[in-house]
Structure 1
Amino acid sequence: MKGRISVLAVAALLLAGCSQSGGDSGSGPVTVNYWMWDANQQPQYQACADAFHKANPKYTVKISQYGWDDYWSTLTASFVSGTAPDVFISHLSNYPQFAAQGQLLPIDDFVARDKIDLSNYQKGLADLWVTKDGKRYGLPKDFDTVALFYNKKKLQEAGVEPGELDNLQWNPQDGGTYEKLIAHLTVDASGKRGDEPGFDKKHVATYGLGLNASGGGFGQTEWSMYAMSDGWDYADQNPWPTKFNYADPKFKETIKWFTSLIDKGYVPSLAIATSGVAQMDAYGAGKYAMVTEGSWNTKAYWALKGVESGIAPVPIGPIGKRASLFNGLADNISATTKNPEAAWAWVKFLASPACQTDIVADHGVIFPAIKDATVRAEKAFAKQGIDVQPFTMHVEQGTTHLAPIADHWADISAIMTETMDAIFSFKASVESLDQANEKVNGLLR
């Protein structure tokens, strides 16, 4: 991750990000300032901006792109200083707090006026952008799921055919065929594999499965797919739960099993995973044979030099099904925008087939939220030699689980990150989840 930018740099960015026109009421041109955090997606949205300007010559979109960490700190600072962008890409974990603080413009009247058909989007995605008071703040722009990325050379060296990964199974008792594969793909410094006598777990050259972090209270690419395929769910309802389930025995047994892979030397320690070398970079360097990753990073993995990758489904769990979080982004309009009509016109275009189907899908970077665009995106990926079916199969087979949307998520995340870090570092047992869950639920009372 890139480091925090300096105070002077923040100030400069904020000045650059403020609205530059006098508002919608005049007849002159209007510039819509649009912020995003993913450089891989900037080309496709620049193409959408160009198409939008062609269809609406009065409006021009200026795109500013920041790294993930800098993005949220800079955006928060812009709200405080009154220099927020007109429109920005938002995340499910962040928008409820922004909405509660009055930083976002509700779009209900716009949606009703322009008769936006919410049924065009993948099931459930539109519901995530409505707060408890019934106000809507976004229209779905994409969706993502989780799958296994594997290094083809590592599989070949281990004598494993890619097809063997298609129907892996896991369980919290012995890990099933999934753990056996992870063990076999793990190699120590002397060349011994994890399932061979004499394997040295203290000197591992290649881990069978990589690790990004402890996952905090979300665990999207770390442990969510295992816990949910064991019959666990985050909370009593979603969105806006009244009680979280981090103390559930199903969750405890999942985390106990997963951390046992660290203890056995098949997965790197949390200290190694968070040492400053990103999971993708470690995978690219041959340190990890497989990783669990989100669909949004597919192109980035394919861009790694010297590594030929494949994608496989996550394992089937004890309930007899796979599972994946079903996450998605949307565009929020700042409450302080001087150009509400222009901002809405841009948001509406971003959520339309003209952008999602005709442009975004064909770029083959992400999966647009519009149902009809999914197949088109799959074809675009296929033209690049990437089979993304392990991602889209979750939608086809109904094994998606909506990402949790809750009040006080920042506080929940802080509690759970501290707890999960301690568990993954073997400084605490899974029983510490009882106290953590009590603290989390105390926030919701």
Structure 2
Amino acid sequence: MSTASLGDRRRTSARARAASFVALALALALPAAGCAPQAASSGGDGHTVSYWMWDAAQKPAYEACAKAFHKENPGLRVDITQIGWDSYWTKLTSSFIAGTQPDVFTNHVAKYPQYEGLGALSPLDELGPTRGIEDSDFEPGLGKPWIGRDGHRYGAPKDWDTVGVFYNKKITRAAGVSDAELRDLAWNPRDGGSFEKTLARLTVDANGKRGDEPGFDKDNVARYGLATNDAGGDNSGQTQWSSFAASAGWHYMDKNPWGEHYNYDQKTLHKTLGWYFGLAEKGYMAPLEDYSDTNHPETQLASGKAALAMHGSWMLSTFAGLKGVDLGIAPTPKGPTGKRASMLGGLADSIPKGAKNKRGAAKWVAFLASDECQKLVGEDATVFPATPAGTKRATAAHRKKGLDVTPFTRHIEEGTTFSFPISDHAADINAMLVPAMQEIYAGDSPAESLTETNKQINFLFQQDK
């Protein structure tokens, strides 16, 4: 293939992606008309920096950062707009089309490839205030995902999260399962290891029989060992099966970030998912139909419907606030590799290419990434900030509340994290994986059915070439 023909094909692919993006954006903008972007500040006067975020729980911490920022930059004011997750991306996309985009917005690794691929973001390493931001400023693994295909940085990490196992000590101790045992669990796809044995012990049927006792009725369970958190198709199994698959040695793509070949057809994943979703068939994990918008894992733990719940560190405050629950936290189980694993999630702050106050935006992003702001966020203890200093401050704040958060931080310290799969076509991939994973969970399809799904996913990338 000649260089010219390759360039032509890349330009054609870029135009196709751009057309797709505009069509999607316009479709999203129509139902949002009259109800969203105009209510959010987009800055533009040279003295105001508009900042959009979706997490209401984090807003007080960033208001404290803004107050400190104002003292250091008396000519600038940050205007924070919080928009709920369900509307956030619709309104953000609409604002890009309408030219009312914020100066800075909280970005997510699942969404960012589309904006990066269309050239809609400002390279932070080309703006004075953010030029000095380096990967080494943050916890290991947080900076790399935000380096685009062209080598430029398009996001400054703001926080991180890993996965752990939340449990009710009242239930585990009554079953004779100690905290020490929960901290040292292991699993394998053959017999489930000590993790599955523990789930069986914690599971109780309507007649009071435990999952490891003769006469246990798997079809009439009163309390499951493990809560359901859906099938995990729309977020790559982050809080469901990803820790197990990674600890078995599986990887999402040929490379990450910017891979172009997914590995959902590999036997290692099939064996992992066959075992994991098989826990529901055995009665040890709540079935798919138990999950709903009003019955999340924390709800199941609070009601006594489940003894354990795997979830992300961003849920710490929620689980800690459950009434009647003596909360314990354990790390993810060790896998066949002999190591634990957890997806390393993380958000970042990005600047749109069309930001009205780009220099003010860069100053704000640089401040958000500074230890001064990161420590303020850490003291709030809603999330783990991206810098080591911020993480240390958050860990201390949780300790004061009586929470041992080492099950989350040990993944950082021991280097057992892996990145969210960052690639093009995220929306299309999710659209394929959600029903596929749900069918496996429900027992309607074997895990091997993902081989065909994987072909469809990889075909998306073949069309780009």
Band of TM-score, shorter chain:
over 0.9
Once structures 1 and 2 are overlaid, which stretch shifts more, 12-21 or 246-255? 12-21
C-alpha deviations, 1:257-281, integer Å up to 9, x for none? 0011010111111121136422222
- Aligned-partner Cα distance in 1 for 2:243–2:391: 22
Q: Which residue does the alignment assign to 1:312?
A: 330
Contact kept? 2:143, 2:156, Cα under 8 Å: yes
| Gaps in structure 1 of 5+ consecutive residues | 25-29
Tell me the CA shift for residue 113 of structure 1.
6.9
Which residue does the alignment assign to 2:314? 296
Contact 2:163 2:332 in 1 (8 A): yes
Report what 2:157 is aligned to. Answer: 140
In the TM superposition, residue 438 of structure 1 has moved relative to its aligned partner by 0.8
**Matches of 2:126 and 2:191, distance apart in 1:** 54
Larger displacement relative to structure 2 (300-309 or 434-443): 300-309
* Matched residue, 1:27: none
Aligned partners of 2:328, 2:168: CA distance in 1, in Å? 7
Q: 2:227: which partner in 1?
A: 210
**1:146/1:391 contact within 8 Å kept:** yes
Q: Does 1:51 align with 2:61?
A: no
Q: Structure 1 residue 116: deviation in Å?
A: 2.8
Aligned partner of 1:334 among 352, 362, 365: 352
> What letter matches 2:224 in structure 1?
Y
**Size of the alignment, in residue pairs?**
434
How far apart in 2 are the matches of 1:410 and 1:290? 31
Alignment correspondent of 2:37: 14
Specify the alignment match of 1:34 in structure 2: 51
> Which 4+ stretches in 1 moved above 4 angstroms?
5-10, 111-114
Cα deviation digits, residues 396-445 of structure 1 (max 9, x gap): 11111122111111111211112111111112111211101111111122
Q: Deviations over 1:118-165 (max 9, x none)?
A: 312122211111221223211111111111000111112212211111
In structure 2, the gaps of 5 or more residues are 1-27
1:66-97, Cα deviation, whole Å (9 max, x unpaired): 22222222222222332222211110000110
* Residue number among 257, 263, 284 corresponding to 1:239 in the alignment: 257
Q: Is residue 265 from structure 1 mapped to residue 283 from structure 2 by the alignment?
A: yes
Structure 1 residue 114: deviation in Å? 4.5
> Which one of the candidate residues 113, 126, 143 is aligned to 2:143?
126
Separation of aligned partners in 1, 2:98 and 2:168: 47
Which deviates more, 346-355 or 330-339? 330-339
Paired AA for residue 17 in structure 1: A
Contact 2:29 2:91 in 1 (8 A): no
CA distance in 2, matches of 1:443, 1:356: 39
User: Is it true that 1:195 corresponds to 2:248 in the alignment?
Assistant: no
Change in Cα spacing, 1:142 to 1:74, as seen in structure 2 (3 Å) is same
TM-score, normalised relative to structure 1: 0.93
More helix by share: 2
2:247 to 199, 210, 229: 229
Identity across the alignment (%): 47
1: CA distance, partners of 2:30 / 2:130: 42
TM-score scaled to structure 2, two decimals?
A: 0.89
Counterparts in 2 of 1:91 and 1:367: CA distance versus 1, 3 Å:
same
* RMSD of aligned Cα (Å): 1.9
Q: What is the identity, as a one-letter code, of the residue corresponding to 2:282?
A: K
Residue by residue over 1:188-244, the C-alpha shift from the partner in whole angstroms, topping out at 9 and shown as x without a partner, is 222221112222222222111012111116101000110111111111111111211
Q: What is aligned with 1:75? A: 92
Identify the residue that residue 13 of structure 2 maps to in structure 1. Answer: none
